[in-house]
Amino acid sequence: MRTPKDQDNELPMKGKNRVLRKGFSDAEPVRRGSVLKNPKLSATTDSLWSRFSGRVFDLMKGDSEPGHADSTLLAILIFLILFGLVVLASAGSVKSYNDFDDPYYLIKHQVLNGLLIGGVAFYIMSHIDYHYWRKYAFPIAVFTLILLFAVFIPGLGEARLGAKRWIAIGGFDFQPSEIVKMTFLIYLAAWLEKHGKRIHDPAYGLMSFVVMMLSLVLLIAVGQKDLGTMIVIGVIAVVVYFVGGAPVKDLLMIGGGSIVGFLFLVLIPAFRYRLDRILVFFNHDSVDKLGTGLHVHQALIAIGSGGFFGLGYGHSLQKYNYLPEVHTDSIFAIISEELGFFFAFGIVVLFTLFTVRALKIAKNAPDEFGKLLAVGIATWIGFQAVVNIGAMLSLLPLTGIPLPFISYGSSAMITLLAAVGVLVNISRQTK
Residue 364 CB-half CA count within 13 A: 23
What are 383-429's pLDDT values in tens digits? 999 999 999 999 999 888 999 999 999 999 999 999 999 999 999 98
CA dihedral 335, 340, 343, 344 (to 10 degrees): 60
Measured from the Cβ of residue 137, the count of other Cβ atoms closer than 10 Å reads 21
One-letter amino acid at 333 equals A
Residue 374 is predicted with a pLDDT of 97
Question: Residue 288 and residue 297: Cα distance in Å, rounded?
Answer: 10
The answer to whether the CB of 162 falls within 8 A of the CB of 226 is: no
| Average confidence (pLDDT) over 354-372 | 95
When pLDDT is cut at 50, 70 and 90, the band that residue 15 belongs to is very low
- Pick the closest to residue 156 from 179, 173, 181 (CA basis): 173
* Alpha helices, H only, 103-173: 105-109, 116-127, 131-135, 137-150
Residue percentage of the chain with pLDDT more than 70: 84
Average pLDDT, the chain: 84
- Write the pLDDT tens digit of every residue in 220-265: 888 888 888 999 999 999 999 999 988 888 889 999 998 998 888 8
Stronger pLDDT, 129 or 274, i.e. the higher one: 129
Is residue 31 helix, strand or coil? strand
Question: What angle (nearest 5°) sits at the alpha carbon of residue 147, between those of residues 142 and 150?
Answer: 130
Exposure string of 312-336, with b = 16+ CB inside 10 Å and e = fewer, is eeeebebbeeebebbbbbbbbbbbb
pTM greater than 0.85 (yes/no): no
Mean of the pLDDT values across residues 57-71?
62
Q: Does the pLDDT of residue 94 top 50, yes or no?
A: yes
Provide mean pLDDT across the span 184-205.
Answer: 85
Confidence tier at 64 by pLDDT (50, 70, 90): low
- Is the model more confident about 33 or about 72? 72
**What pLDDT sits at residue 391?**
93
Beta bridge partners of 160: 163
Is the pLDDT assigned to residue 58 strictly greater than 60? no
Which residues contact residue 359 at a Cβ distance below 8 angstroms, ignoring those fewer than 6 apart?
Answer: 374, 375, 378
The pLDDT value given to residue 392: 94
399/77: higher pLDDT = 77
**Could you tell me which residues come within 8 angstroms of residue 285 by beta carbon, excluding any fewer than 6 positions away?**
none
| Mean pLDDT within 282-303 | 83
Q: Other C-beta atoms within 10 Å of 191: how many?
A: 24
Pick the residue with more confidence: 299 or 2? 299
315 secondary structure, DSSP code? -
Strand order in the sheet with 172-174: 157-160, 163-169, 172-174
Q: At what angle do helices 331-363 and 410-428 cross, to 10 degrees?
A: 20
- Which residue has better confidence, 377 or 224? 377
HSE toward the beta carbon, residue 92, CA cutoff 13 A: 25
Residue 41: the pLDDT is 47
* Across 44-49, average pLDDT: 50
Confidence band for 56, pLDDT divided at 50, 70 and 90: very low
Mean pLDDT check: name the lowest of 12-21, 82-91, 319-328, 367-376: 12-21
Counts of helices then strands in the chain (DSSP H, E): 17, 3
Q: Of 298, 304, 306, 291, nearest to 323 (Cα)?
A: 298
- Residue 199 pLDDT > 70: yes
Q: What is the mean pLDDT of residues 1-9?
A: 46
Among 59-68, 136-145, 174-183, 192-201, the minimum mean pLDDT is found in: 59-68
- Using N-to-C axis directions, what is the helix angle for 176-194 and 410-428, rounded to 10°? 30
CB within 8 Å of 174: residues ≥ 6 apart: 166, 167, 410, 411, 414
- Of 99-108, 151-160, 339-348, the poorest mean pLDDT is in 151-160
pLDDT at 293: 82
How high is the pLDDT of residue 334? 96
Q: How many CB atoms lie within 10 A of CB 161?
A: 7
Which of these, 390, 347, 373, lies nearest to 81 by C-alpha position?
Answer: 347
Does 69 score more than 90 pLDDT? Answer: no
Least confident of 12-16, 159-163, 223-227, 416-420: 12-16
pLDDT band at 174 (very low <50, low <70, confident <90, very high): confident
